[in-house]
Structure formats: structure tokens, C-alpha cells
Amino acid sequence: MAMAKAKDLVATHPVVVFSKSYCPYCVRVKKLLDDLGATFKALELDVESDGSEIQAALAEWTKQRTVPNVFIGGKHIGGCDDTVGLNSQGKLVPLLTEAGAIAASASS
């Protein structure tokens, strides 16, 4: 059930952040996405009744046990360092734009 829920969320949202509300790395990724103007679905695993099951399913699916666990355009990106790293390399915005999470700017 948890795996199906996680995969359904990833399939139906351009960006999904599996998160915990108290996690500073999760807060950093969500703030970065907000600052970039991206629309994203954040699922707070510490608030969800099946959060621990979803985290276990994500660990099985992505081989990543920690949060944040970020997906863009249905692809697993990784955690905070991965997401921030993509941004500093200039690769995050194109991924977000391609996924439909950011409107393509008129200047491009």
C-alpha cells in the first residue's frame, strides 16, 4: 500500500519531496524550491499515519533511507545535497521546467 501511494504521488505531481516537518535538510530543499518558484508536493512523513511505511517503501525503491527524498519529473533526484548540488550546477531549474513545475520564462 505504501509503495503504491509513493509511486502514485510521484506519477501525479511534477515534483515530490518526501520530507519530515522538523528536518533542517527538508526545510532547506523546500525553501530552495519555493525560492525558485517551483510547484511541488511535500509529504511530511512524520505527520502521515503511514509515514514510516512510506519511508520504508522509499528505502526499498530508491535505496535511500533518509529525507528529504526528492523526485522531479518522476525521476529520483536524491536528497538535500543532491538537490542543492544540481541547483549550484545550474541543472535544477531546467529539470523543474521540463517537469512542468516552473513556467518557462518569457525571456528564454
Spell out the per-residue pLDDT of the chain, length 108, in tens: 999 999 999 999 999 999 999 999 999 999 999 999 999 999 999 999 999 999 999 999 999 999 999 999 999 999 999 999 999 999 999 999 999 999 866 444
Domains and CATH numbers, the chain: 2-99 (3.40.30.10)
Q: Are 61 and 3 contacting, i.e. CB atoms less than 8 angstroms apart?
A: yes
Q: Read off φ and ψ for residue 100, nearest 5 degrees.
A: 85, 15
- For 4-34, the pLDDT digits (tens) are 999 999 999 999 999 999 999 999 999 999 9
Which pLDDT does position 108 carry in this prediction? 41
- Around 59, how many Cα atoms within 13 Å sit in the side-chain half-sphere? 10
CA gap 36, 22 in Å, rounded:
22
What is the value of pTM for the model shown? 0.94
| Distance (Å) of CA 3 to CA 6, 9, 24, 107 | 5, 10, 25, 40
